[in-house]
Structures are given as C-alpha cells and as structure tokens.
Amino acid sequence: MKLSAVRHFCLSSLMFGTVAMSGSAQANEAGGAAPALVPLEIEVYAEEGQAIPHFMVDAAWPDMPAEMIIGQVPGLAVDKGDNVWLVHRPQSLTFSDVGLAQSPPQALCCRPGPDVMKFSGDGTYLGGWTGDPEWPETVHGIHVDDEQTVWIGGNGEGDHVVYNFTEDGDFIRQVGTHGETDGNASPDKLGNPADIWRGLGQVFIADGYINKRIAGFDEESLGFQGAWGAYGTVPSGGTRQGSFDQSQASTNTDGGADPDAKAFGDIVHCVVGTDDGYVYVCDRRNNRAQMFRVSDTGDLEFVRDIVIAPETGGTRTVTDIAFSPDGAFVYVADMMNSTIWVLDRSTHEPVARIGRIGRYPGEFTWLHSLDVDSEGNIYTSEVGTGRRVQKLVFTGMKPASE
C-alpha cells in the first residue's frame, strides 16, 4: 500500500484534552454513563478537500458494573441492535486485580466479569454468561449473527472448536472436536480457530493459529463447503507444530512479514464478510489483508491484496477489519503500531490513521478487535497488558484539511 504524498497531522478538536459533556459524572437517562468525549490523534493521507470520517473517544464508556473487571479482550462484536458483545479472558487477571473474588476476600475490589458480556451502545451492562460444554482454555474471537446467536473460537491448547450459543448462553452446536486437529485439508477438524463470520450462506472460519486457511461450512447443516489458502488456492504452508504460545506472535525469527507470500502466515487472524458478496481475511503475520469475492458456487475467488505498514515487525499489523455503515470506508486494526487505518473502500488506499500506542483514551496497547455500529461509531478491544474496550464516537465527515 503506497501512502499519498499529502500528509497532515491534526486533532479531532482544537486542542488535545478532555471535553466532558454536561452531566458526565452522572448516569444518562438510558442508564449508561453520560459521554466524556476526548479528542483523537489522526494522521491524514487524503488529498486536501476529500471528506473523511472523524471521531472522538467516549472516555466514560462502558459503564462497568461496580466491583467488576475485565481481562484481555480477544473478541468484540456489534449485533444488529447495536449492542456490543465482548469475550474476555478472566485468567489474564492477577491476584491483585481480583482480590474481592478470593476466599476470604483480600481487597475491596474486584471480581472478573463473566466470559461473555453484553453492553448497550450507551455503555449500560446488559448481562453476561460463561459457556458450556467445554469452554476454550483461551478464548479468541466472537461473532453475533443476524439470528442473534453467538459464535466463539479459541487458540489455547486443544482449542480446536468453534462453539455456537444462544444469546443467553445455551449451547446450540459446534464445528470441530476439542483436542483433535488434522491439518489444512480436514473437512471436520479445526486448528485453533481465530475468528468466525456467518453470512452469504456459510459459516466462514479463520482457522487460524495452528492451520493456515479459511474453512467454509453450510450455515444450516454445518456441512463442509471448502477450504481456501492465500489467493484462494489450496491451503499450503504447513501447520504450526505443537501448541501456540504468545512468544510465537511477536518473534521475528520467521524472517519477517512477506506481503507477497504464496501461503497465509502462521496467524490467519480474522474473517469478515460484506453484504455485497465479499470476504476479507487478516493475514496478520504477513502485514496484509486479502479480499475475496464469493462465487455462485460458494468458493472464495481472490480479488486483491491490501498491504498495511509492510516493514512492521513484532506482533505485525492486520488483526481485524470493519466497515463504515455506508460501506465507503474500511477500518483496519493494526496491533504493533497500535493504530486504526482508515481506507477508502473504492481504492483500498489509506485516507487517515487514528490513534497511537499508549494507555490514555484514544490510544491503544495490543489493539486486537474492532467493529462498527449502525451510527458509524467504532468499538475496539485490547489484549496483552491492554485489557480494555473503547468507543470511538463518530462526529461526522470533514474535509482532510480541517
């Protein structure tokens, strides 16, 4: 991806600081905390005068229940009612985080929230649950389909299953078998699935941390429909040997990213579809996304590469993808650079870049997942030592020069 020569650095407001709306310390009428909007750093690549989306951060979001805390958040999804779902890892919290949950209690706060949590758009906590039967050792990825059922994967030892639950947490069905994996050609076994998207007649799985493929299953019967590697070819590149551990996600001993690689890298991190028949795949370790068209036979046909910050090392770049409500912009989460790339979907070239590494509102640490609601607001989640979610409030379209 070549950046435009026109580059500006600006803020979403006149100064960098907290802009709290009236009553920000009190609950709003809907029950969530009133917004406390904070400007965002934005680097602009668009041509002068081109309109691009702008955002501010709601520093009061979500209105977390008293005594509740969340750990790493490796999955976040917005449902058709604009409710925000997240799946987190309570085991990533330390004893000093959850002193109230110990027996006897060791501190005034806190207890981990349930593994799956649901919030309204204004941040009100709507409940949560921990799944059954075999909950993944390390959860990874969440998708809420149009029927309001919830899909969850995992990348811990033996986590070779995608589970499907009702929105209340009742088990419905699954793809794969816990503890069993059988390579990229398997029609019924998975290998540490990272992400799920249901649409266009299939359940597509980014399969993921052991395997290097996208696997498709009929959305009703879950019968195997096919498996695709990079460029829509037969999956290649082998599989990861042994169980995944976090050190493998940040090493450069693989020689670094190769955006021209004929096979997916060793973390196929996301799969996201569109209503107009396209599927985007995050090839995280190769610093690229690949865009596919779903054919009349249900196959993935390669359309193009989308390369993001190709020289980046460490945890690399492309971790998740979402779209503006009108489909005009693509938002790409970049883990290592802790930023969100804003792409013009007509060209897939960057028009802006939002945020930077850090701990304050609008900054990111181990940026992992993102999604967009019907009003254009972006929600993000962080893993590693980030362990939080944020809401970026869409404030409108503005020319690049502003």
Amino acid symbol at 11: L
Furthest-apart CA pair in the chain: how many Å?
A: 61
Residue ranges of alpha helices (H) inside 126-184 are: none
Q: Name the token pair of 359.
A: 């701990």
Place of tokens 């690049």: 400
Q: How many CA atoms lie within 13 A of 261 on its CB side?
A: 26
Inter-CA distances, 81 with 78, 145, 250, 349, 375, Å: 8, 11, 36, 30, 11
**Tokens read off for 74:** 């490796």
d(CA 390, CA 370): 9
H or E element at residue 124: none
HSE-CB at 221 with a 13 A cutoff on CA atoms is: 5
Question: Which parts of the chain register pLDDT below 70?
Answer: 1-31, 133, 402
Provide the residue type at 39 as one letter.
P
pTM of the model: 0.93
Q: What CA–CA distance (Å, rounded) separates 1 from 330?
A: 14
Q: Determine contact, residues 139/154, Cβ cutoff 8 Å.
A: yes
Beta-carbon contacts of residue 85 (< 8 Å; ≥ 6 apart): 76, 77, 78, 79, 116, 117, 118, 119, 142, 144, 150
Cβ atoms 74, 139 nearer than 8 A: yes
pLDDT at 29: 53
Contacts (Cβ under 8 Å, ≥6 apart) of 132: 169, 171
Distance in angstroms (rounded) separating the CA atoms of residues 343 and 357: 20
**What domains can be seen in the chain, in order of their start residue?**
8-399 (2.120.10.30)
Residue 31 pLDDT = 65
Provide the pLDDT for residue 356: 96
What are the residues whose beta carbons fall under 8 Å from the beta carbon of 240, sequence distance 6 or more?
191, 192, 209, 210, 248, 266
